[in-house]
Amino acid sequence: MSSDNSQIFTDNIPIVVDLDGTFLRTDLLVEGFVHLIKKNPFYFFLCILWLLKGKYHLKENINARVNTNYSLLPVNNDIFDFIKSESEKGRKIILATASLQIQADEIRKAYPVFDEAYGSCDGQNLSGSKKSSFLVDNYGQGQFDYMGNSKSDLPIFTEARHAYLINADKLVVQKAKKIGNLQKKWENTGSTLTSSIKAIRVYQWLKNLLLFVPLVTSHSFSNPDLVLKTIIAFVAFGFIASTGYIINDLMDLDSDRSHPRKKKRPMASGKLPILSAMMIAILLFIVGLMAAYFINTSFFIILLLYFLLSVGYSIHIKKIVLYDVFLLAAFYTIRVISGGIATDIPISFWLVAFSIFIFLSLAFVKRYSEIAQITHLTSIENRRRDYSSVDIPLLQIMGIVSGFMSVIVFSLYINSPEVRLLYANPKILWFLSFLLLFWISRIWLVTSRGQMTDDPIVFTLKDPGSYVLFLLTAIILMASKFLV
């Protein structure tokens, strides 16, 4: 009889759950900081002053200036399922977090699985030993189970009946095992390295092949020094571009989480911690600029300009109709110009003009594809683009016209004096005009059918049909070069 009563008592012991890194796959303080910087980058300096007055003061000031959508925050589904199952068995589920009390209350509203919620208040940061004392005072020593993930949770484990570890590092796991009450641990199923590679979007480096265009068009590919400079420039541009991609994803956390596909991105899903992503971005930025400076000062300056424009695009410009498309086209053209600057190869007027029109067409492809996918949404993802469904036909017209204009520029280039110096039989190049017309028409046909991916450049480099056109282009160029 006494054994049955003991079992009932044991089952009624509450489970106390930490928030950041345990129930959530993110950190509310870091999330708030990102949203604050998105509003105004100069808040960074205020954050330093607030932190000097204490972590609680920092949290309070950040939270007062940002609006967090708690329902969009990435939840650790394994933990949610576990505590929901325990709640259904009659156990009380308690949320205890170092985040502010007002934030804890909002989490409880968003996730009613919690019976009670406690957070930092009255200037006291509810973390570590303070949280441990609070729980002992309210529930008694050994009269609660605790779920945590970090070193600051270890003092709480010593006072809990059972400890549960979630995605903790090896040192924390070792110390938790020494305490002797570790009941279960959950480990991160995803690879941090894999998430990091996804975050920097290595596949997008395919765009940087545009840096080789001046090398090809000037027929300088046999010069090993110029080839080496272009390769270094390619890597430097990749590092800086990846820094921009990380910043872009940080600025788009809420909108990505509202998107059916983008919510799986490493930072939006919580698979890659925001702080880790920031450190990666800083490292890539420093190495990229060092490599650029090694090439020459002019390349360093244009790469820095590209970075500043990409940050401006991520923060604000991409929300402005047409400005966003023209800047996207500029990003492609800057790559071509950068290739010439890195190698000191003069960029012809014809190449710049052709680049502007062809890449403007591809920028319209990208925006057309995105808007066509999200016009049915009423989410943040749709609102952050200042376009509507009525703009789609116009985007298509402007994009197709821009693409055909590039064919006209190329046709005029064939008759220019520069071509006669580079090719033995320039008339053969006219076949390229027909191939270019076909390729542009095909790209827009694929786009109008909703089969285009986010980036037409990446799509092209993965498209078998485009490779056939590339092969024919190479044959025509060789014939024009050598057949008299």
Q: Report DSSP letters for 398-428, one per residue.
A: HHHHHHHHHHHHHHHHHTSHHHHHH-S-GGG
Domain for residue 334, yes or no? Answer: no
Are residues 47 and 171 both part of a single domain? Answer: yes
The answer to the question of residue 92 being in a domain is yes
- Same domain flag for 305 and 362: no
- pLDDT at residue number 319: 82
Is there a domain that residue 78 lies in?
yes
Compute CA distances 174 → 154, 170, 424, whole Å. 11, 6, 73
CATH number at residue 27: 3.40.50.1000
Do 199 and 248 share a domain, yes or no?
A: yes
Transcribe 62-125 into DSSP letters: HHHH----GGGSPB-HHHHHHHHHHHHTT--EEEEEEEEHHHHHHHHHH-TT-SEEEEEBTTB-
Residue ending a domain, among 186, 216, 250, is 186
- For residues 423 and 404, the model is more confident at 404
What local confidence, expressed as pLDDT, does residue 128 receive? 92
pLDDT score recorded for residue 349: 87
The reported pLDDT for the residue numbered 452 is: 84
172 and 34 fall within a common domain: yes
pLDDT in tens, 249-289: 999 898 889 877 788 899 999 999 999 999 999 999 999 99
388 and 312 share one domain: no
Q: Over the stretch 98-120, which tens digit does the pLDDT of each residue have?
A: 999 999 999 999 999 999 999 99
Note the pLDDT of residue 375. 57
How confident is the model at residue 2, as a pLDDT? 36
User: Which tokens in the block code for residue 277?
Assistant: 């992503």
Same domain? 103 vs 223: no
Inside any domain, residue 299? yes
Output the CA–CA distances (angstroms, integers) from residue 86 to 82, 134, 194, 236, 301, in the order listed. Answer: 6, 23, 33, 52, 59
**354 with 465, same domain?**
yes
434 and 365 fall within a common domain: yes
Q: Is residue 163 part of a domain?
A: yes
Q: What is the pLDDT of residues 413-455, one digit of tens each?
A: 888 887 877 788 888 989 999 999 999 999 999 998 888 876 7
Residues near 456 by beta carbon (within 8 Å), at least 6 away in sequence: 362, 365, 366, 369, 443, 447
User: Do 33 and 50 meet the contact criterion of CB atoms below 8 Å apart?
Assistant: no
Considering the domain architecture, whether residues 94 and 119 belong to the same structural domain is answered as yes
pLDDT number for residue 74: 94
pLDDT digits (tens, 9 = 90+) for 71-84: 999 999 999 999 99
CATH classification of the domain holding 226: 1.10.357.140
Domain region containing 164: 13-186
Residue 70 amino acid letter:
Y
> What letter represents residue 383's amino acid?
R
Domain count, the chain: 3
Give the pLDDT confidence of 143-165 residue by residue, as tens digits: 999 999 999 999 999 999 999 99
Q: Which pLDDT value is given to residue 374?
A: 65
The DSSP annotation for 174-214 comes to HHHHHHT-EEEEE---S-HHHHHHHHHTGGGGGGGGGGGHH
Predicted confidence at residue 484, as pLDDT, reads 64
In a domain, 378, yes or no: yes
Instruction: Clarify whether residues 68 and 88 are in a common domain.
Output: yes
DSSP, collapsed to helix, strand or coil, labels residue 473 as: helix
Residue 466, pLDDT score: 86
| Structural domain contains residue 332 | no
Task: Render pLDDT for 320-356 as a digit per residue (tens, 0 to 9).
Answer: 888 999 999 999 999 999 999 999 998 888 889 999 9
Q: How many CA atoms lie within 13 A of 95 on its CB side?
A: 33
Check residue 4 and give its pLDDT.
Answer: 41
Q: Is 105 within the bounds of a domain? A: yes
pLDDT reported for residue 105: 96
Domain boundary among 122, 157, 186: 186
* 26-69 per-position pLDDT tens digit: 999 999 999 999 888 899 999 999 999 999 999 999 999 999 99
Do 204 and 132 fall into the same domain?
A: no
Give the confidence band of 318 by pLDDT, cuts at 50, 70, 90.
confident
Say if residue 311 is in the same domain as residue 367: no
pLDDT in tens, 357-383: 999 999 999 888 888 776 555 443 444
Of 186, 201, 232, the last residue of a domain is 186
**Confidence band for 11, pLDDT divided at 50, 70 and 90:** low
More confident residue, 145 or 189: 145
Query: Residue 449's pLDDT is what?
Result: 87
Confidence of residue 1 (pLDDT cuts 50, 70, 90): very low
Q: How much is the pLDDT for 390?
A: 82
Residue 296: which pLDDT band, with cuts at 50, 70 and 90?
very high
